[in-house]
């Protein structure tokens, strides 16, 4: 069967073809199905019309058409535009006038465009949602707390382990947060990637990825491994050697997630994620959740078997595992018409999510408190893998509705998050080492809090310095402060 039109067709029985027909351009409509619905000729024509740019600024993969009450509407992911009124002929469609609906709604807009997430005539992420950007920044910055807490005793292999008393409840909470933090981050990254590609095209997406991800990764990798070798040698009292300095560059440290994100962006074509989205669309939401959990855990098992093969080899299953979340986020944006139904599922009910989170934390606590070293020690990670998938959907549905207002603090956190994360690693480990003897052993949580705050403060100062220097801003994927001021003045004017 030859693919004719990306879409799913819904037509009312006994109603004129041009009265109640929705063509979604995100998914594959086979020739046979189009013929069965009596839409084959119209599908070919509409596809030709869009591909030939008779409707300007519209790509086939980013919109769907609605024909209702003899009016043809074309809705893009970020708005609804009226194509033609009382027009059913090809010539009229070619020459139709395009006029935007106003934000308050339009009486001519069909009711099916006003349901669920389309309330007030908008679609999912119809405009920039600073709340989701802020959430992504917080997920990155939580890494500062996590790396500060790793200096607490508990059997982990880290640069410096303090002599503080164990804090089982706190350590369990930190480890639990770490099981869903990066999962949700890659979920959001996939969702935003789909949005950028559909709105601005793949060329803009790849250019933006090079500037915001690849260049900062290369810049940080030039000095972070060497700096960490110096700090580690100082902490352990080891002598510096050329071999040791070169060997330091076989480790990625905290830069691994940028490597994984680059691989997902540059080496996996959008067509793969679009195909995955089409597959996910066919699955009921509970089945989709289960499939994602199984896929993510499968790669976790692979990582367990190759953990001794070196950091770069272990990165392969790690990247594949997080790509499951990236693809799920990508699919969520492409399948955004399903969000109203998914958001009503009991699986993403806030009470269910909170209860599952508390259960996972208790499992982590039991492992820490009773010092379980048998195969049961993997139970917290397995239970948290269920939570991480459900949490990724829940947190997007929740933050998308908040409609957080943009202000200087929120914008500053969003803009600085990556640089702070890149710079905090050596800073936090150094402070954890230096402050261990200066804080009582009976205050492990206070110790972590102080190290975290100092790490954030110093990294923020470094960010402010970088922001003032155009070359460094470019190397770390930032817009220089002067450029931003000029842009702000122009926007006000």
Tokens standing for residue 33: 């199905």
- 192, 406 in Cβ contact below 8 A? no
Residues 171 and 153 in one domain: yes
Arithmetic mean of pLDDT, 317-338: 94
267, pLDDT greater than 90: yes
459, pLDDT greater than 90: yes
Interior/surface letters 284-322, b for 16+ CB within 10 angstroms, e for the rest: ebeebbebbbebbbebbebbeeeeeeeeeebbbbbbbbb
Residues 114 and 155 in one domain: no
pLDDT of residue 394: 96
Give the best-scoring range by mean pLDDT among 106-120, 132-146, 469-483: 132-146
The angle subtended at Cα 52 by Cα 47 and Cα 54, nearest 5°, is 95
| CA pair distance 420, 457, nearest whole angstrom | 9
Which tens digits make up the pLDDT trace of 154-168? 767 899 999 899 899
Residues 245 and 359 in one domain: yes
Name which residue leads in pLDDT, 155 or 316. 316
- 175, 156 in Cβ contact below 8 A? no
Residues 151 and 66 in one domain: no
118, pLDDT greater than 80: no
pLDDT of residue 114: 33
DSSP string, 248-293: GGG--GGGHHHHHHHHHHHSS-HHHHHHHHHHHHHS-HHHHHHHHH
311, pLDDT greater than 60: yes
Q: Is 223 strand, coil or helix?
A: helix
**In which element (H, E) is residue 211 found?**
none
Residues 481 and 340 in one domain: yes
Arithmetic mean of pLDDT, 89-101: 31
pLDDT of residue 126: 60
Ranges assigned E (strand) in 71-213: 71-76, 79-85, 99-100
Name which residue leads in pLDDT, 400 or 408. 408
Residues 196 and 110 in one domain: no
Please, which pLDDT band fits residue 425 given cuts at 50, 70 and 90? very high
383, pLDDT greater than 90: yes
Which parts of 26-129 fold into alpha helices (H)?
A: 31-36, 40-51, 90-94
- 83, 108 in Cβ contact below 8 A? no
Arithmetic mean of pLDDT, 33-48: 47
Distances 120 to 95, 111, 131 between C-alpha atoms, Å:
29, 11, 19
pLDDT of residue 63: 41
Distances 5 to 31, 236, 330, 391 between C-alpha atoms, Å:
8, 63, 20, 34
pLDDT of residue 11: 32
Please, which pLDDT band fits residue 77 given cuts at 50, 70 and 90? very low
Residues 131 and 83 in one domain: no
Residues 182 and 270 in one domain: yes
DSSP label at residue 443: -
Residues contacting 245, CB < 8 A, separation 6+: 226, 229
pLDDT of residue 122: 39
DSSP label at residue 83: E
Residue 228: domain span? 124-492
Residues 137 and 271 in one domain: yes
Q: What is the pTM of this model?
A: 0.76
Which residue, of 85, 120, 155, is where some domain finishes?
Answer: 120
- 189, 331 in Cβ contact below 8 A? no
pLDDT of residue 480: 78
Choose among 70, 69, 78, 60: nearest CA to 23.
60
Name the domain count of the chain: 2
Cα distance between the two ends of the chain: 54
198, pLDDT greater than 60: yes
pLDDT of residue 55: 43
Residues 299 and 242 in one domain: yes
Residues 189 and 102 in one domain: no
pLDDT of residue 125: 66
- The alpha carbon dihedral of 399, 400, 406, 410 has a sign of positive
Arithmetic mean of pLDDT, 111-129: 44
Residues 114 and 129 in one domain: no
Please, which pLDDT band fits residue 485 given cuts at 50, 70 and 90? low
The structure tokens 């989205």 sit at: 277
Which residue, of 101, 120, 139, is where some domain finishes?
Answer: 120
pLDDT of residue 95: 28
Which residue, of 105, 120, 135, is where some domain finishes?
Answer: 120
Output the average pLDDT for the chain.
78
pLDDT of residue 130: 82
pLDDT of residue 403: 73
Name which residue leads in pLDDT, 273 or 33. 273
């Amino acid at each position: 069967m030859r693919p004719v039109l990306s879409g799913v067709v819904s037509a009312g029985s006994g109603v004129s073809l041009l009265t109640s027909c929705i063509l979604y351009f995100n998914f594959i409509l086979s020739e046979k199905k189009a013929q069965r619905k009596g839409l084959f000729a119209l599908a070919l024509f509409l596809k030709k019309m869009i591909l030939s740019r008779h409707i300007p600024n519209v790509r086939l993969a980013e919109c769907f058409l609605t024909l209702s009450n003899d009016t043809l509407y074309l809705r893009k992911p970020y708005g609804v535009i009226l194509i033609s009124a009382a027009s059913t002929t090809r010539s009229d469609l070619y020459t139709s006038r395009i006029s935007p609906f106003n934000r308050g709604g339009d009486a001519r807009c069909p009711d099916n465009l006003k349901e669920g997430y389309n309330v007030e005539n908008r679609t999912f992420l119809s405009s920039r949602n600073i709340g989701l950007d802020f959430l992504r920044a917080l997920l990155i910055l939580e890494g500062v707390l996590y790396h500060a807490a790793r200096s607490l005793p508990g059997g982990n292999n880290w640069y410096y382990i303090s002599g503080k008393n164990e804090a089982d409840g706190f350590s369990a909470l930190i480890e639990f947060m770490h099981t869903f933090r990066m999962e949700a981050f890659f979920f959001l990254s996939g969702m935003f990637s789909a949005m950028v590609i559909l709105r601005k095209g793949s060329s803009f997406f790849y250019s933006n990825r090079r500037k915001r991800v690849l260049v900062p990764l290369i810049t940080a990798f030039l000095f972070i491994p060497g700096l960490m070798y110096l700090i580690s040698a100082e902490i352990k009292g080891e002598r510096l050697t050329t071999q040791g300095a070169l060997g330091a560059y076989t480790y990625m440290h905290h830069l691994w997630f940028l490597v994984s994100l680059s691989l997902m962006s540059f080496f996996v074509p959008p067509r793969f994620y679009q195909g995955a989205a089409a597959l996910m669309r066919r699955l009921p939401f509970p089945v989709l959740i289960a499939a994602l959990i199984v896929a993510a855990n499968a790669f976790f098992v692979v990582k367990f078997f190759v953990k001794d093969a070196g950091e770069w080899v272990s990165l392969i299953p790690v990247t594949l595992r997080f790509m499951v979340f990236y693809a799920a986020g990508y699919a969520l944006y492409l399948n955004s018409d399903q969000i109203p139904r998914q958001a009503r599922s009991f699986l993403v009910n806030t009470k269910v999510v909170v209860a599952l989170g508390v259960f996972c934390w208790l499992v982590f606590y039991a492992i820490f408190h009773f010092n379980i070293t048998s195969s049961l020690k993997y139970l917290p990670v397995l239970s948290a893998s269920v939570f991480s998938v459900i949490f990724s959907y829940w947190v997007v549905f929740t933050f998308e509705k908040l409609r957080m207002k943009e202000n200087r603090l929120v914008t500053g956190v969003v803009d600085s998050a990556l640089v702070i994360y890149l710079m905090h690693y050596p800073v936090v480990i150094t402070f954890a080492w230096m402050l261990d003897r200066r804080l009582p052993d009976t205050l492990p949580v206070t110790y972590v809090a102080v190290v975290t705050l100092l790490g954030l403060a110093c990294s923020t100062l470094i960010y402010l310095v970088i922001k003032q220097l155009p070359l460094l801003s470019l190397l770390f994927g930032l817009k220089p402060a002067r450029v931003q001021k000029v842009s702000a003045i122009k926007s006000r004017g």
